[in-house]
Amino acid sequence: MNLSNIFRVVSRLGVLAVVVTLAWFVTSAAGAAAVTTTVPAGGFQDCFAPNADANHLVTSVDNQDTYRTVALRCGSASTFGVLHINAGHPPFNATTVQCIEHVLSTAPYEGPASGKDNVSYTISNRQLDAIVIVNVDTDNVVTAYTSQGGSPRSNDWDGCVSIPASAQHTPNVTVTPQTAGSCWQEWFGNRSVCIAVNGTKLHVNTLGAGESYESFDDTGCATPLLFAGGRLFRIGSNTCGRGLLSQNFAMNNDFPNNLRLCLGWTDIDHRGCLTIHD
């Protein structure tokens, strides 16, 4: 069921239609670090050979915090991968590969990024941000770079690998009651938060996020937050609207059976939830 249909059902049937068994989920600030699996780096030099295969796999990282295995491939200078990174933030070397592996295995959640169906993996310390952009349709690295205040340098690969993994945390999130259905709605009012997914069994292709306001004349801005098993794993883009807010996520995720998937927004404490099962 898509979001427009969910909101229509909520509007017609009223609050009792979505008030079902309440469950409490505790979200920690960071949670236990998930195990990541990395294929050792090697062979990036092959990407600079004449007629290199764009799909040649240099390394891959399985981050269980984000339910995604990301691949670094040769790519091309204009689109993605090793050659694209080298074109924009040279030189590409063995430390670049180590930086990308470090970011992909350490970042605790996915953030928004420019480009169709792209997400960002980011780790930081006080001096430096290291960012890897990933396309969720292909699970390929698009680009990677570093950012430092007051400096135009975008290739501090040595600084990237020195960023401590222990310093990375998910934002602190308030503990709130969850509905057992896909929507939360105010007892006496029109506020609601709804989540809708499209996929097959444990694979989720896309996810729809929605929030309705008290009145269609109300306006506001907020950012959608996705939680898996009570843990923040994806942050959307800031969205503004009148009457309701909505955002669609490209997902391409394989989740564990009976995983609780929840949606929240930064301007409201409540979330809508559903269970992924085969």
Residue 109 neighbours by CB under 8 Å, 6+ apart = 65, 66, 170, 232, 233, 234, 235
Q: Report the percent of the chain where pLDDT is more than 90.
A: 70
Domains and CATH numbers, the chain: 3-29+172-276 (2.60.40), 36-167 (no CATH)
First-to-last alpha carbon distance for the chain, in angstroms, is 17
Confidence of residue 94 (pLDDT cuts 50, 70, 90): very high
In the predicted model, is pLDDT for residue 169 greater than 90? no
pLDDT tens for each residue of 52-71:
999 999 999 999 999 999 99
Range name among 11-15, 141-145, 243-247 with the lowest pLDDT average: 11-15
Confidence of residue 78 (pLDDT cuts 50, 70, 90): very high
Range name among 23-37, 124-138, 178-192, 226-240 with the lowest pLDDT average: 23-37
pLDDT tens for each residue of 210-266:
999 888 889 999 999 999 999 999 999 999 999 999 999 999 999 999 999 999 999
Q: What is the pTM of this model?
A: 0.83
